[in-house]
Structure 1
Amino acid sequence: MENKKILVTGASGYLGGRLCHALLSHGYSVRAFVRRTSNLSSLPAASSSSSNSHFELAFGDITDFSSLLAAVTGCDIIIHSAALVDPWLPDPSCIFTVNVGGLKNVIQASKECNSIQQIIYTSSFFTLGPTDGGVIADENQVHHEMFFCTEYERSKVMADKIALQAASDGVQVVVVCPGVIYGPGKLTNGNIVAKMLIERFNGRLPGYIGDGNDKFSFTHVDDVVEGHIAAMEKGRPGERYLLTGENASFKYVFDAAAILTNTSKPRLTLPMWTIEAYGWISVLFARITGKLPLISPPTVAVLRHQWAYSCEKAKKELSYDQRSLKDGLEEMLPWLKNSGCIKY
């Protein structure tokens, strides 16, 4: 696939920026699809080039079909990582406009542009639903759809159906489902682990959240990036691949962070009802100030469930590799310190 030109949507985001850098290092040409108002600090310089790679910007919006079609023209592959990942927004309809409508636009653009050979769609572990009862799920789990913790979760389930239907209709779509992404990089709402560690080390989160029985599949951002590239090179159209990692609780994250930084572990356990009350207060302030909350009632709903997954399929078919959470935090914490976000 050398010399292929890849359009990356959501290129200015936490994952998208690192995807652009990695694709260039793998010898691909990259066109980053970004809004005029986007913060481009995480992207390569637009003049970056070598004999095997080239980087350029295309301006537009995933919800604006004409700008997307113009950006797609001349590309061979689309990596569609653009999404609104916020668990709470004052107007949740925006989540569906971007996450569902955006995917529809990408699929339609690929049909109208003869050069597109493949779409890699960045889905989410939420697509498969919770794993309550100690289950470790794989790609065969189907979301029960009896409830959704967040509108983001609902939107990704809807989008997943659209992607798989397109694949059954002959569109070359490969779906990848990352876990909870963490690691160095842009401090967006997609980097929730970094944000919670910042709150913890700065004293604004004085204890554990809940009883520590939560389970999430934590995935280092660079493992997810390499998983995307492997899915592009080896993935089978119409298949989902879980790009997940170590299944652990946020209590484990806080404890591991304390050990790695030689600082004290939290001494308090904050009951879920107090976190939920804080979430409602945060939402109230968000409506007044316009600043999105770190914790909101939908976030608490997510924390009340378990989300543990296996990445064996990706390991087998994509040669996907996952680092341990400890190893990932060992890299991430010094980065947060050197960035001035935390002190220890």
Structure 2
Amino acid sequence: MLDYARHRGVPAVALCVSNTYGPGDWQPTPHGSLVAMAAAGKMPVYVKDMAMEVVGIEDAARALILAADKGRVGERYIISERFISARELYATAADAAGVKRPRFGIPLKAMYALGFCGDVAVASRTDPQWIRKVVHFYRSQAVAEHRASRAR
């Protein structure tokens, strides 16, 4: 995007917003849906080996406004609050809503097995919660986002 803008003389600033959470974050993303499930007390398990970059939705909104007002043209900004385990994130959502926390941690390798079951569900035209590609995507993104944010 920055190259496109630079070549066409468009003043642009790029923002890389990590996974958002908090009141008013109603975008139906996979991440947001999982946080909502935890806040509704409908998530009995979490993935043990997962962690991700997160930022509160209100902080992300303020960062977008600041970047529009004060960001340097041609720059890219990473918008993140912290790197947090899935266990801590979902427990925080459950605590804030006054519901039971997810109690059991499932190893990532077991989630891949569940993802395979999800692939079978897709092939049989049912609606799975977890498919193998999604599990792999979450794992790879969490590590990549954290490394990128710490490198800056």
Common fold: TM-score over 0.5:
yes
Matched, 1:297 2:132: yes
TM-score by length of 1: 0.36
Structure 1 residue matching 2:13: 3-state secondary structure:
strand
Q: Rate the CA distance shift 1:207–1:223 in 2: closer, same or farther, 3 A.
A: same
Give, as a single letter, the amino acid of the residue that structure 2 aligns with 1:246.
R
The CA distance in 2 between the partners of 1:229 and 1:262, in whole Å, is 32
Tell me the amino acid that sits aligned with residue 217 of structure 1: E
Distance 2:95 2:31 in 1: 20
Question: Does residue 1:273 correspond to 2:109, yes or no?
Answer: yes
C-alpha separation in 1, matches of 2:22 and 2:96:
15
> By how many angstroms is 1:262 displaced?
5.1
Pair 1:166-2:13 in alignment: no
Distance 1:178 1:238, change over 3 A: same
In structure 2, stretches of 5+ residues that fail to align are none
After superposition, residues 150-299 of structure 1 pair within 5 angstroms as 163-169=1-7, 170-185=9-24, 187-190=26-29, 192-193=31-32, 195-200=33-38, 201-203=40-42, 205-211=43-49, 214-261=50-97, 263-287=99-123, 288-289=125-126, 291=127, 293-299=128-134
Q: Which TM-score applies when normalising by structure 2?
A: 0.73
AA aligned to 2:133 is P
The amino acid of 2:74's aligned partner reads: G
Higher radius of gyration, 1 or 2: 1
The alpha carbon displacement at 1:297 in A equals: 1.7
What are the ranges of 5 or more consecutive residues in structure 1 without an aligned counterpart? 1-162, 314-344
Q: Is the 8 A contact 1:166 1:173 kept in 2?
A: no
Shift of 1:246: 2.0
CA distance in 1, matches of 2:98, 2:133: 33
Q: What letter corresponds to residue 196 of structure 1 in structure 2?
A: L
Aligned partners of 1:178 and 1:171: how far apart in 2? 21
Shift of 1:258: 4.4
| Letter of the 1:299 counterpart | V
Distance 1:220 1:294 in 2: 25
Change (3 A) 1:258 1:221: closer
The one-letter amino acid paired with 1:296 is: I
CA change 1:185–1:303 in 2 (3 A) is: same
Matches within 5 A, 1:108-147: none
Shift of residue 254, structure 1, vs aligned partner: 2.5
- C-alpha distance in structure 1 between counterparts of 2:121 and 2:26, whole Å: 21
* 8 Å contact kept, 1:178–1:242: yes
For 1:279 and 1:302, how far apart are their aligned partners in 2? 11
Aligned equivalent of 1:139: none
Q: Deviations over 1:50-106 (max 9, x none)?
A: xxxxxxxxxxxxxxxxxxxxxxxxxxxxxxxxxxxxxxxxxxxxxxxxxxxxxxxxx
Q: Secondary structure of the equivalent of 2:83?
A: strand
2:47/2:111 contact within 8 Å kept:
yes
Do the aligned partners of 1:182 and 1:191 also contact (CA within 8 Å) in 2?
no
1:197–1:230 CA distance, 2 compared to 1 (3 A): closer
SS of equivalent residue, structure 1 residue 247: strand
Flag the structure with more relative contact order, 1 or 2, with Cα contacts below 8 A and sequence separation at least 6.
2
Aligned pair count reads: 143
The sequence identity of aligned pairs, in percent, is: 24
Amino acid at match of 2:19: V
Deviation string, structure 1 residues 118-138 (Cα, Å, up to 9, x no partner): xxxxxxxxxxxxxxxxxxxxx
CA distance in 2, matches of 1:240, 1:249: 26
**Alpha-carbon distance between aligned partners in 1 of 2:113 and 2:137, rounded to the nearest angstrom:** 15
